Chain A
Amino acid sequence: MSKNEPKTPPGSSFLEEVVDASKVDIRACYQCRKCSAGCPVVSAMDILPNQVIRQIQYGRREKVLTSGSIWICASCHTCSVRCPNDIDFAQVMDALRHIALRSGISAGEKGIPVFHKSFLDSIKSAGRIHELSLILRFKLKTRDFLKDAGLGWQMFRRGKIKVFPQSFTGGKEVKAIFNAYERGATK
């Protein structure tokens, strides 16, 4: 365990922190690996789903929260429906991402949380996702302007890309929702 390992609240283990945040009892796992066998994105993961559970039980907070796996998970819920012990692992992955963001830990897959942030910033500013604005917002952060540019042009030609965002009047309510989120995130 590294010296920089973020501390869990006194008197509680990482296991308790995850169970508390996810409301999923991962202590029921008997390592049958069905979650990893059915996971469509497992080949891109640095720790397999069943290993994530074991590492949580070992209390390896930093290893789990800095893994690429928690961001690679596509939330397809295949693991959750196949677990013989009814462990909703997709829910656990959500909880791990939330803990990682709140802890300010550097993500193992940098681009994915950056994309989520761009997405949420777009909702905050315009209420709806205007796809072109979102893509530009994200590309400004990643500086990868050429990726899929040809594809974007083909979609534009077929009338699938709107140039201007739509007008929106629910701004106050959406701001209030995001203010509550941002207050919670800095707690």
Chain B
Amino acid sequence: MKDVTYYPGCSLHGTAREYDESFRGVSKLLDISLHELEDWTCCGSTSAHCSDEALAVALPVRNLRIAERHDREMVVPCVACYSRFKAAEAGAKEHPEYLPSPYEAKVSVRYALDFFCDAAMIGEVKARVVKPLTGLKVACYYGCLAVRPPHLTGVVKYENPDHMDRLMEMLGAEAVPWSYKTDCCGASLVMTRTDIVVDLSQRILSMALEAGADCIVTGCTMCHANLDTRQAGLPAEGGRNGIPVLYFTEAMGLAMGHKEAGKWLGRHLTDPIKALSNKGLL
């Protein structure tokens, strides 16, 4: 049994509910005990770092100080929150004047995808695969913040990452090569310049269809929301004009035979159930 602190962030308690449910589900199957950070608050997200540097450090650090009370690493499934935590660690060191008291960054903060891709953990995942995703072609979509900026994420192959691809192959799926792994979906512009987000998201979706993928797999709540909900009017490619978008934890849950995988997948707007059932995976 491994104990970790869990920072869900705002999305996982709302629109990314299936990411929360599947992350909890696969963690349980892997004997990982999640302790939700008590009294957590929002990381500040894009709006804080676009508005003020000190605010963008102070909001995440409030959570990091709570996490420091426990001798556990903190795992963060939302990559936007993760990115703000890493930026705040660096910002607190560089600008101690942004905070009322010094913060020493003693707690280890991990992005959930990196956490499951660790050499030791990936072996555990492989050992628990009971329903391999044989015949499923997936396009691994990392988005921006899982890889950039590399001095914060520590990802070496930031232009063509492959750690999620390896995880998917460990589950029995086939990760297709494609060139839009780290292209931006427009993220939070969805509320204000929806036109830009539709354009960027549909380019990514079209490329995944052209690469012959059955579904896209991601670990970002904003990417998921944009790709899953902005498919209307997508030009048809090979007879298909839509493509399901899964969280990587949902793919893990499917391969590990989690009983509630169907419930998580039922929350998507672009239905993944039909495609997965046709492949005999659900």
Interface string of A107-146 (1 = CB under 8 A from B): 0010111111101100100011111000100100000000
From A98, A109, A138, name the one whose CB has the most chain B CB atoms within 10 angstroms. Answer: A98
CB distance A166 to B193 under 8 Å? no
> A13 within 8 Å of B by Cβ?
no
CB distance A160 to B15 under 8 Å? yes
From B48, B189, B268, name the one whose CB has the most chain A CB atoms within 10 angstroms. Answer: B189
Q: Which residues of B contact A40 (CB under 8 A)?
A: 183-184, 186, 200
> A78 within 8 Å of B by Cβ?
yes
CB distance B58 to A72 under 8 Å? no
CB distance A155 to B269 under 8 Å? yes
> B149 within 8 Å of A by Cβ?
yes
> A177 within 8 Å of B by Cβ?
yes
Interface string of A158-169 (1 = CB under 8 A from B): 111110001011
Q: Which of B50, B52, B100, B191 contacts A184 (CB 8 A)?
A: B52
Q: Which of A72, A173, A176 contacts B189 (CB 8 A)?
A: A72
CB distance A159 to B158 under 8 Å? no
* Docked pose: A112 CA to B187 CA in angstroms: 13
Residue total for A at the interface (Cβ-Cβ under 8 A)? 61
CB distance A120 to B15 under 8 Å? no
Q: Which residues of B contact A170 (CB under 8 A)?
A: 39, 41, 62
Q: Which residues of A contact B16 (CB under 8 A)?
A: 160
* Docked pose: A174 CA to B46 CA in angstroms: 17
Residue total for B at the interface (Cβ-Cβ under 8 A)? 54
Closest residue to B144 on the A side, CB-wise?
Answer: A76
Q: B232-282: which have CB < 8 Å to A?
A: 266-269
CB distance B193 to A112 under 8 Å? yes
> A17 within 8 Å of B by Cβ?
no
* Docked pose: A55 CA to B268 CA in angstroms: 45
* Docked pose: A147 CA to B100 CA in angstroms: 42
Q: Which residues of B contact A50 (CB under 8 A)?
A: none
A133 smallest CB distance to B (angstroms):
10
CB distance B53 to A94 under 8 Å? yes
Closest residue to A90 on the B side, CB-wise?
Answer: B149
> A185 within 8 Å of B by Cβ?
yes
A135 smallest CB distance to B (angstroms):
8
> B106 within 8 Å of A by Cβ?
no
> A37 within 8 Å of B by Cβ?
no
A173 smallest CB distance to B (angstroms):
6
Interface string of B193-236 (1 = CB under 8 A from A): 11110011000000000000000000000000000010000000
CB distance B53 to A168 under 8 Å? no
> A41 within 8 Å of B by Cβ?
yes
CB distance A120 to B51 under 8 Å? yes
* Docked pose: A77 CA to B143 CA in angstroms: 11
CB distance A177 to B62 under 8 Å? yes
Q: Which residues of A contact B49 (CB under 8 A)?
A: 75, 94
A130 smallest CB distance to B (angstroms):
7
CB distance B54 to A184 under 8 Å? yes
CB distance B13 to A162 under 8 Å? yes
Residues of chain A touching chain B, judged by Cβ–Cβ distance below 8 Å, are 40-41, 43-44, 71-72, 74-78, 80-81, 88, 90, 94-95, 97-98, 101, 109, 111-117, 119-120, 123, 127-131, 135, 138, 147-148, 151, 154-155, 158-162, 166, 168-170, 173-174, 176-178, 180-181, 184-185
| Contacts A75-B46, A111-B192, A129-B10 supplied; 10 other A-B pairs, CB < 8 Å | A81-B149, A81-B150, A98-B51, A116-B46, A120-B51, A128-B10, A129-B45, A160-B14, A177-B59, A181-B52
Q: List 24 A-B contacts (CB under 8 A).
A: A40-B186, A72-B189, A74-B187, A75-B50, A76-B148, A76-B187, A78-B144, A81-B159, A98-B51, A109-B193, A112-B189, A112-B192, A114-B192, A123-B48, A123-B59, A128-B42, A131-B10, A155-B229, A155-B269, A158-B267, A158-B269, A160-B14, A170-B41, A181-B51
